Amino acid sequence: MTLQEIKQNESIRALVHAGNKYLEAMGYTDHGPRHVGYVSDTASRVLRCLGYDDHQVELAAIAGWVHDVGNAINRHNHGANGAILLYPVLREMGMPIADVVAIITAVGNHEEHNGFISSPISAALAIGDKSDAHKSRVRGGKPDPTDIHDRVNFAIQENKVTIDNDNKVIRQSLTMDDTSSVMEYLTIYLERIQMCEAAADFLGVRFELNINGNQVNNHKDT
């Protein structure tokens, strides 16, 4: 089964849309096609660059696209809720059970508060999801100055995730302007960075965060 088939499925499209609308009502940044597209692309690119086979790469792309469907129910425990929602949909689409299990395990464990990295797909999904920070996530391009998530994301002018195979590093490089600060970024992204570090460690590499040319996190040798 391919990512394109997943994108065209009516149930999944409805769940992605509903989750994004729910979070919009709560005042959250974008969680619709822009976000899930970024996560899907980044997760699949991580595994491809690290030499995983095409099947694993495609499953990572699919996991990235569907990871937030649980928001259609509730923000709380949306990972586990999404996994439960996805099981019957993916089975009805004809996805092999082994692939379904791989997807729902990754989706059910992508939240930084209660997730656990247990497979290359879940590791790639975590890196894709937790690295998404950019001004384009701010809805309507007009940040709410009282909302730290809006301030931080709107300050990020550029976000690049690269895979340095020679040095075994997954590197996220952010360019921020002075409308927010590194301290504010860390206030909301620290647990996410730590999950990226755990995910990279599972993949046998390191996760390195650079903001405005400065390395933010030290890392142990793998």
pLDDT digits (tens, 9 = 90+) for 5-46: 999 999 999 999 999 999 999 999 999 999 999 999 999 999
Residue-wise DSSP of 28-66: ----SHHHHHHHHHHHHHHHHHTT--HHHHHHHHHHHHH
Q: What is the pLDDT of residue 218?
A: 74
Q: What is the pLDDT of residue 222?
A: 44
Whether pLDDT at 149 is above 60: yes
Whether pLDDT at 220 is above 70: no
Q: Is 65 exposed, middle or buried (0-12, 13-18, 19+ CB in 10 A)?
A: buried
Whether pLDDT at 184 is above 60: yes
pLDDT digits (tens, 9 = 90+) for 79-119: 999 999 999 999 999 999 999 999 999 999 999 999 999 99
CATH 1.10.3210.10 fits 3-215, yes or no: yes
Whether pLDDT at 219 is above 90: no
Contact call for residues 128 and 38 (beta carbons, < 8 A): yes
CA 117 to chain centre: 13
CB neighbours of residue 43 within 10 Å: 33
- Determine the average pLDDT of the residues in 68-85: 96
- Determine the average pLDDT of the residues in 197-202: 97
